[in-house]
Chain A
C-alpha cells in the first residue's frame, strides 16, 4: 500500500500541521512516511500545501503527481489541486468556504463544513483537525484509535493544553465522515 495526500489551503489554516500530524501518526504506527512542504514562492492569500506519502514499503519519491487524496481548505486550493487527483481519487473540501462544483466526473468530492464544525468546539483554529479526522475515516490509511493513543506525543509538549480540543476536533471529523461519506 502506498497512499499520497496533498493538503492545501490558506497559510494559517494549519495545512502544514495537518501534514506533519498525519506523518508523525503514521510513523508511530510503523509506516514508511515522507512529508514534503511546498517551499516555493507563493501568492499572498493563495495556497500553502504539503504532500504526505504513507506506505508499507520504502518510498521512492516524496512528490505526488497524481495523489489518491486531496484536502482543499480554500477555493484557490480546490481549483489548483482538483486536476492533480488521480481518477477515482477523493477530494475532501472545506465546504464552509469552498464551492465544491467540479468539471471532473471521475473523482469523488466529499464536502465537509470543517469551519462550521470547528466553531461548535469554540474555535475555528481546529478546523484542520476536523478535516484530518474525516480524512482518516475516509482513507483508512492509518489506525484512528492508534493515533488517538499517541496524540499527546504527536502534538508535542507545546500543545499539551490543547490536547482535549484537538481530540474532540478529530472525533468530530471522524464521526462526520462516518455519517456522510458515500462508500467509505
Chain B
C-alpha cells in the first residue's frame, strides 16, 4: 500500500522492517524525525531505543551492540557524523557491522539546516583515522531510501564493516509516496565472532589495538582485500538517457533529481544530454564512466557543494574526457532550470571547441 511519508520516517520504518533491533540517536536537525520515529516504533515493538547523551556515546553504543550480535543503527547530520568518525574507524578496525545514516546539512562548522552535499569527502574517504573504507549508499527518493536500507544492513553483515547512508535535509524532510510491500528483511548471517559470554566455548576478544606492526599490517591487508571485494561486487548506479548522449551529467542523491529535471528540459531543446547517477558513492562507478568515455567526450559534474565528487570523476576518467563542473555550496538548492542553463552553455562551448579543433587539423 502506498502511503505519504517523510524520508526520515520512511528510513526508520525500513530499518525496523530490515530487522534493526537497536537504535541509538542524538538530536540534530534535519534528521530529528528519524530519531522521533524510532523512539515510538522501537518502543511499540519492545526493541532497543536509546537517546544517548552525545553522538560519541551513540556510536559507541552501536559498537557495543554490534559486538554482541545486534543489528544496530545510528543517525545524525554532518556535525554529529564528524563526532562519530572515531567510532566508525573502530567499527571498521573491529570488523563489526553497523549502519550509520547522515541526513546532511550545510557546512562546514555548525553551518545551517538546509540540504547540502558537502559531506562527500567525509563519507567516501573513510572519514575517521586509519586505513579503511565504508560503502556509501546515496538514495535519491523516499522510495529508494526504503530500498537501500535493507541493502545496507545486508552489506554491513556480509562484509562485517560499517556502512553509510548519505541523504540530505531535503530527502529527510520531504514527503513522497512510499511502498514497503517489496521490502524483504535481509537474512541473518552466521556471527562466529560476537561476544555472548564464553560459557562452554573458548573466549573471544574484539579489539583494534595491535602493537605488533607486522600483525597490524596483516590486519590492514585483510581489510584491504575486503574493500577490493566491495569494489568488485557492490558498485551501483543508474543511467538516464545516456545511450546517445554527447554530454553526461554526473550527480547523486537529490542533486541527481535536480539534474534529471534539467536534462528533461535540455532534451526538449534537442540537446543530447544524459545522466549517470552513482548510487554507491564508494565504491564509485569508475568503470562505467570509463566505458562511457569511449563515446562521450564531455562529463558535467553537478553537486550541492563546492566540488568533491568531481575529483572521483576525474580520477575515473584518467584524462580521457573533459570534465565540467557546477556547484552550489552552503545549503543552496538550485532549481532544474538554473542547472539546465549552465549545462546548455557548457554543451555549446564543447561543441565549438570540437569544431575549432577540427578546423585546426584541416
Residue numbers of A with Cβ under 8 A of B are 20, 23-24, 27-28, 32-37, 39-40, 58-63, 65
Per the bound structure, the CA–CA distance linking A24 and B176 in Å amounts to: 9
Q: Which listed residue (B174, B258, B260, B333) contacts A34, Cβ 8 A?
A: B174
Per the bound structure, the CA–CA distance linking A61 and B253 in Å amounts to: 11
Q: In the bound complex, do residue A37 and residue B336 qualify as a contact, i.e. CB atoms below 8 Å apart?
A: no
Per the bound structure, the CA–CA distance linking A16 and B4 in Å amounts to: 14
Which chain B residues lie closer than 8 Å to A63 at the CB level?
170, 333, 335
Q: In the bound complex, do residue A27 and residue B177 qualify as a contact, i.e. CB atoms below 8 Å apart?
A: yes
Which chain A residues lie closer than 8 Å to B344 at the CB level?
none
Q: In the bound complex, do residue B170 and residue A62 qualify as a contact, i.e. CB atoms below 8 Å apart?
A: yes
- Check B2 for interface membership: any CB of A closer than 8 A: yes
Q: In the bound complex, do residue B114 and residue A60 qualify as a contact, i.e. CB atoms below 8 Å apart?
A: no
Residue numbers of B with Cβ under 8 A of A are 2, 4, 29-30, 113-114, 169-170, 173-177, 254, 257-262, 264, 333, 335-336
Q: In the bound complex, do residue B176 and residue A60 qualify as a contact, i.e. CB atoms below 8 Å apart?
A: no
Per the bound structure, the CA–CA distance linking A65 and B114 in Å amounts to: 15
List 20 A-B residue pairs with CB atoms under 8 Å apart, sorted by A's residue number.
Answer: A27-B2, A27-B177, A32-B177, A33-B176, A34-B175, A36-B170, A36-B174, A36-B175, A37-B174, A39-B173, A40-B113, A59-B257, A59-B261, A60-B264, A61-B254, A61-B257, A61-B333, A61-B335, A62-B174, A62-B176
Q: In the bound complex, do residue A20 and residue B333 qualify as a contact, i.e. CB atoms below 8 Å apart?
A: no
Nearest CB on A from B296, distance (A): 22
Q: In the bound complex, do residue A61 and residue B173 qualify as a contact, i.e. CB atoms below 8 Å apart?
A: no
Per the bound structure, the CA–CA distance linking A35 and B258 in Å amounts to: 16
Q: Which 3 pairs between the two chains have the least Cβ-Cβ distance?
A: A60-B261, A35-B175, A36-B174
Which chain B residues lie closer than 8 Å to A28 at the CB level?
2
Nearest CB on A from B162, distance (A): 28
Kindly report which residue of chain A lies nearest to residue B112, judged by CB atoms: A40
Q: In the bound complex, do residue B336 and residue A61 qualify as a contact, i.e. CB atoms below 8 Å apart?
A: yes
Per the bound structure, the CA–CA distance linking A15 and B335 in Å amounts to: 24
Q: In the bound complex, do residue A20 and residue B29 qualify as a contact, i.e. CB atoms below 8 Å apart?
A: no
Nearest CB on A from B254, distance (A): 8
Nearest CB on B from A22, distance (A): 10
Nearest CB on A from B165, distance (A): 19
Which chain B residues lie closer than 8 Å to A34 at the CB level?
174-176
Which chain A residues lie closer than 8 Å to B30 at the CB level?
39
Q: In the bound complex, do residue A33 and residue B333 qualify as a contact, i.e. CB atoms below 8 Å apart?
A: no
Which chain B residues lie closer than 8 Å to A27 at the CB level?
2, 4, 177
Q: Which listed residue (B113, B169, B175, B264) contacts A23, Cβ 8 A?
A: B175
Given contact pairs A23-B175, A27-B177, A62-B170, enumerate 8 new A-B contacts (beta carbons under 8 Å).
A34-B174, A34-B176, A35-B175, A37-B174, A60-B259, A60-B264, A61-B261, A62-B174
Which chain B residues lie closer than 8 Å to A33 at the CB level?
4, 176-177
Q: In the bound complex, do residue B174 and residue A35 qualify as a contact, i.e. CB atoms below 8 Å apart?
A: yes
Q: In the bound complex, do residue B173 and residue A37 qualify as a contact, i.e. CB atoms below 8 Å apart?
A: yes
Kindly report which residue of chain A lies nearest to residue B336, judged by CB atoms: A60
Nearest CB on B from A152, distance (A): 15
Per the bound structure, the CA–CA distance linking A13 and B261 in Å amounts to: 33
Which chain A residues lie closer than 8 Å to B173 at the CB level?
36-37, 39
Which chain A residues lie closer than 8 Å to B258 at the CB level?
60-61
Per the bound structure, the CA–CA distance linking A32 and B333 in Å amounts to: 21
Which chain B residues lie closer than 8 Å to A32 at the CB level?
177
Q: In the bound complex, do residue A58 and residue B260 qualify as a contact, i.e. CB atoms below 8 Å apart?
A: yes
Nearest CB on A from B303, distance (A): 15
Nearest CB on B from A93, distance (A): 25
Q: Which listed residue (B4, B113, B262) contacts A24, Cβ 8 A?
A: B4
